[in-house]
Amino acid sequence: MTQADYDVLVIGGGPAGLSAALYLARYDRTVALFDAGQGRSTWHQVNHNYLGFPGGIAARRLRELGRQQLADYPQVHSFEHTIIALQRETDGFSATAQAGTWRGHAVIICTGVVDHYPHFEGWEAYVGRSMFWCITCDGYGCKMARVVVTGNTNQAALEALQLRRFTQRISVLTNSQHCYIDDTFQERLKRYAIPLIHDKIDTVIGHDGQFEAIITKGGQRIELDQLFAQHGATPQSRLARDLGVQLTREGYICVDTEQKTNIPGVFAAGDVTRLHSHQVSTAVHEGGQAASAANYYLYPPDLRFE
């Protein structure tokens, strides 16, 4: 089933996609916003870095407020669908889900990333409560806490070393049969008295998403309050790749300062566009910038500097 045509298709309903939809609404553009209800902003994190929310704001609550704000604009239509295909057409683009196909004259891709957390029974309840990945967002909250950093690369070691700014009670658990932390970083861990444990998680003791202890497969008990996972993330850029959009070596979408990709009419915003600076404030800014660039793209030639 083919649905109505829109000015812009916005793929992704996190902070970047919501911001893009809001800016487009303020430009009086018709928008189809697709939100599969997944991604970082659907976990349990409370964001303390976003200006204007004393005491912080839960990521889920920020999403709710964004949807409430968009409800004032009838030109924005929200769909709880996962887009499985995105294609170029003669006069624009089509986005296909199981429920049908939607057409638009421009596309903003805000599909984010998937973080790789340690998996154990009930692990989902810990994400954003006592299991994190971002020192910028959550390092301040681990002052004086017992912290375990999981990961088997130099990045995990570096995260542990930087977390010493907040607490001295830190250890690194590789959670892998392989350890790729090189001699230089292993020496740094020793210098700062950070134990390096080459073992894997067997079971976790905790309740209501709060850690008490990890039992490793080797039988070691590690008591902790918080865990910082450094197992990387996978950008959700398949739709962009299928359109012929240029990606980085790591799979992130390449954009310019206006969030334009190499394909005219295709823009991208949020975590899917960069390896670093994965912040709500960055996503909101990029969503607004992408929307402004898309709005300009949609003007006829007589209304542009060309």
Tens digits of per-residue pLDDT, 268-293?
Answer: 999 999 978 899 999 999 999 999 99
Q: Out of 3.30.930.10, 3.50.50.60, 1.20.1440.230, 2.102.10.10, which CATH number does the structure's domain 118-229 have?
A: 3.50.50.60
Mean pLDDT, the chain cut into blocks of 10 residues (306 residues total): 84 98 98 94 95 97 98 97 96 95 98 96 97 96 97 98 98 97 98 98 97 98 98 96 97 98 98 90 97 98 88
Q: Tens digits of per-residue pLDDT, 163-173?
A: 999 999 999 99
Q: Count how many Cα atoms sit within 13 Å of the Cα of residue 164 in the half-sphere of its side chain.
A: 15
Region for residue 152 given its phi and psi (left: phi exceeds 0; alpha: psi -120 to 50; beta: otherwise)? alpha
Distance CA 212, CA 207 (A): 8
Q: What 3-state class would DSSP assign to 207?
A: strand
SS (H, E, C) 219-240: CCEEECCEEEECCCEEECCHHH
Name the CATH superfamily, with its identifier, for domain 2-114+233-303.
FAD/NAD(P)-binding domain (3.50.50.60)
List of residues 6+ apart from 297 with CB closer than 8 A: 106, 264, 265
Please give the torsion angle defined by the CA atoms of residues 72, 73, 79 and 82, in that order, rounded to the nearest 10 degrees: -110
**What one-letter code names the amino acid at 23?**
Y
Question: Where along the chain do its domains lie?
Answer: 2-114+233-303, 118-229
The two domains 2-114+233-303 and 118-229 share their CATH topology (first three levels equal)? yes
What pLDDT sits at residue 119? 96
Distance CA 206, CA 69 (A): 37
What pLDDT sits at residue 1? 54
Tokens representing residue 25 in the block: 């609404």
List of residues 6+ apart from 184 with CB closer than 8 A: 154
**What one-letter code names the amino acid at 99?**
A
Distance CA 186, CA 193 (A): 11
Backbone angles phi, psi at 122, to 5 degrees: 75, 20
What pLDDT sits at residue 2? 58
List of residues 6+ apart from 7 with CB closer than 8 A: 24, 29, 30, 31, 104, 105, 106, 298
